[in-house]
């Protein structure tokens, strides 16, 4: 199966809202469990080896969250160097401080930073490695000045590494293989209580029943694709799979997909089988459910879909332009090392070079 997108950080909203990740000033247990599961799925040996962490390095982990990666960085430094784990959530900082003390990681330093702009703390030292992982709350297109300033804080030969979620592409008629009739039959046989029945409008269902046979018309194909895309952006669809529902238990994930789906579908407060009408207002929150929904649709009907192009690179032209303007040199764009994600490696720019290199799909 082609690469899938992961979305994680974007569904947490500090405070007391639907997705509040703090309770009484402390991180909610679901937030901690989710971050741990994410780390276990993503922090493979290949990923960690690509970071090339060596003793004595000074590392800055921006948007560290609960510090799963930061703790691993500090552990790999084996008591040397320093890891600065920054976040704008005070509860995350408190949690990381306790984790660092409990694990004996004296080289891990959690730091609370402001939400806007480059915090004054960042300029107090130089960094051999800056990591920005899964920071979907950041609008990269508006951060050219931010990353230009951060570029000046890298040591000679220092690197900045992004891990970006892939983007779920809208369904198109070309995504469905030649057996469109078989796909229509399976859709029409979904029972009313099945979340997959949401794909078919009543009018489309009636047209399928009256189909004379032969190749479905382009109009009918368009109606099916429209239904797929409407479900893609409907958080009520994903909600039917939370809380250990029968629909989740019947999901036919591959072993690789299951590794991620186990925390994709981790129950969130306010999004459950019992409360499926919760609205998701933010763009990033909506993207999360698009990701989950697409994965769920594909695992159900994978034999009818082409596998390529289901998800697009998270390293968009606008993000590429931000780092080009910021003075970075693109060393490597890794699209297959981490399933569902893109890993982008930048270094300090060589003198005289002004253009960022073109993308490469080589892992």
356: CB partners within 8 A, 6+ apart: 320, 321, 323, 324, 328, 329, 330
Q: Count of CB atoms within 10 A of residue 244's CB?
A: 11
Residue 18: per-residue pLDDT: 40
Q: Is residue 85 a contact partner of residue 70, using CB atoms and an 8 Å limit?
A: yes
Higher pLDDT, 162 or 15: 162
20 pLDDT higher than 60? no
| Span 24-59, pLDDT tens digits | 678 888 888 888 988 988 888 889 999 999 999 999
Angle at 184 between CA 183 and CA 190, to 5 degrees: 95
Q: Is residue 88 a contact partner of residue 138, using CB atoms and an 8 Å limit?
A: no
Q: Mean pLDDT throughout 202-219?
A: 79
Q: Count of CB atoms within 10 A of residue 324's CB?
A: 18
3-state secondary structure the chain: CCCCCCCCHHHCECCCCCCECEECCEECHHHHHHHHHHHHHHCCHHHHHHHCCCCCCEEEEECCCCCHHHHHHHHHHCCCCEEEEEECCHHHHHHHHHHHHHHCCCCEEEEECCCCCCCHHHHHCCEEEEEEECCCCCCHHHCHHHHHHHHCCEEEEEEEEEEEECEECCCCHHHECCCHHHHHHHHHHCCCCCHHHHHCCHHHHHHHHCCCCCCCCHHHHHHHHHHHHHHHCCHHHHHCCCCCCHHHHCCCCCHHHHHHHHHHCCCECCEECCECCCCCCCHHHHHHHHHHHHHHHHHHHHHHECCCCCEECCCCHHHHHHHHHCCEEEEEEECCCCCCEEEEEEEECCCCCCCCCCCCCCC
Average pLDDT over the chain, rounded to whole?
Answer: 81
Q: Mean pLDDT throughout 191-205?
A: 90
Residue 273: per-residue pLDDT: 41
287 pLDDT higher than 80? no
Residue 102: per-residue pLDDT: 97
165 closest CA partner among 48, 41, 4: 4
Residue 85: per-residue pLDDT: 98
Counting Cβ atoms within 10 Å, is residue 233 exposed (0-12), middle (13-18) or buried (19+)? middle
Confidence band for 17, pLDDT divided at 50, 70 and 90: very low
| Span 48-105, pLDDT tens digits | 999 999 999 999 999 999 999 999 999 999 999 999 999 999 999 999 999 999 999 9
Q: Count of CB atoms within 10 A of residue 172's CB?
A: 14
Q: Mean pLDDT throughout 129-150?
A: 83
342 pLDDT higher than 60? yes
Q: Which residue has the tokens 């590794």?
A: 259
Q: What is the pTM of this model?
A: 0.82
Q: Mean pLDDT throughout 140-149?
A: 86
Higher pLDDT, 199 or 351: 199
130 pLDDT higher than 70? yes
Using CA atoms, how far apart are residues 316 and 300, in angstroms rounded to an integer? 29
Residue 300: per-residue pLDDT: 92
Residue 272: per-residue pLDDT: 45
Which residues, listed in sequence order, are joined to residue 162 by a DSSP beta bridge? 132, 344
| Span 239-277, pLDDT tens digits | 788 766 778 778 888 877 777 777 767 765 555 444 444
How much of the chain exceeds pLDDT 70, in percent? 79
| Span 156-168, pLDDT tens digits | 999 999 998 888 8
Q: Mean pLDDT throughout 207-224?
A: 80
Highest mean pLDDT among 110-124, 168-182, 327-341: 110-124
196 pLDDT higher than 70? yes
Tokens of 305: 């879909």
Higher pLDDT, 137 or 82: 82
Residue 339: per-residue pLDDT: 73
Using CA atoms, how far apart are residues 311 and 349, in angstroms rounded to an integer? 30
| Span 160-193, pLDDT tens digits | 999 988 888 999 988 988 788 889 889 999 988 8
Counting Cβ atoms within 10 Å, is residue 201 exposed (0-12), middle (13-18) or buried (19+)? middle
| Span 323-333, pLDDT tens digits | 999 999 999 99
226 pLDDT higher than 70? yes
């Amino acid at each position: 199966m082609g690469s899938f997108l992961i979305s994680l950080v974007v569904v947490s909203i500090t405070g007391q809202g639907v997705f509040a990740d703090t309770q009484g000033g402390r991180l909610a247990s679901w937030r901690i469990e989710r971050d741990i599961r994410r780390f276990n799925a993503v922090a493979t040996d290949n990923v960690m080896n690509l970071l090339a962490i060596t003793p004595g390095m000074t590392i800055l982990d921006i948007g560290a969250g609960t510090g799963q990666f930061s703790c691993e960085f500090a552990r790999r430094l084996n008591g040397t160097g320093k890891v600065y784990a920054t976040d704008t959530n005070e509860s995350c900082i408190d949690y990381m401080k306790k984790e660092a003390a409990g694990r004996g990681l004296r080289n891990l330093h959690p730091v609370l930073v402001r939400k806007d702009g480059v915090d004054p703390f960042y300029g107090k030292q130089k960094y051999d490695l800056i990591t920005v992982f899964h920071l979907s709350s950041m609008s990269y297109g508006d951060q050219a000045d931010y990353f230009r300033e951060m570029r000046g804080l890298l040591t000679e030969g220092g690197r900045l590494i992004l891990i970006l979620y892939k983007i779920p592409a809208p369904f198109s008629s070309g995504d469905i293989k030649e057996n469109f009739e078989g796909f229509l039959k399976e859709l029409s046989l979904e029972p009313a209580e099945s979340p997959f029945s949401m794909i078919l409008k009543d009018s489309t269902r009636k047209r399928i029943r009256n189909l004379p046979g032969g190749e479905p018309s382009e109009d009918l194909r368009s109606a099916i694709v429209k239904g797929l895309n409407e479900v893609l952006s409907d958080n009520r669809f994903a909600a039917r799979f939370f809380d250990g529902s029968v629909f989740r238990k019947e999901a036919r994930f591959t072993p690789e997909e299951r590794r991620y789906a186990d925390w994709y579908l981790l129950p969130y407060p306010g999004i459950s089988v019992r409360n499926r009408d919760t609205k998701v207002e933010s763009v990033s929150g909506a993207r999360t459910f698009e990701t989950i929904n697409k994965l769920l649709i594909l695992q159900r009907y994978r034999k009818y879909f082409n596998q390529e192009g289901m998800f697009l690179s998270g390293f968009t032209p606008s993000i590429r332009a931000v780092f080009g303007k910021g003075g970075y040199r693109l060393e490597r764009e890794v699209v297959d090392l981490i399933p569902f994600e893109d890993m982008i490696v930048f270094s300090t720019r060589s003198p005289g070079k002004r253009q960022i290199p073109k993308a490469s799909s080589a892992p």
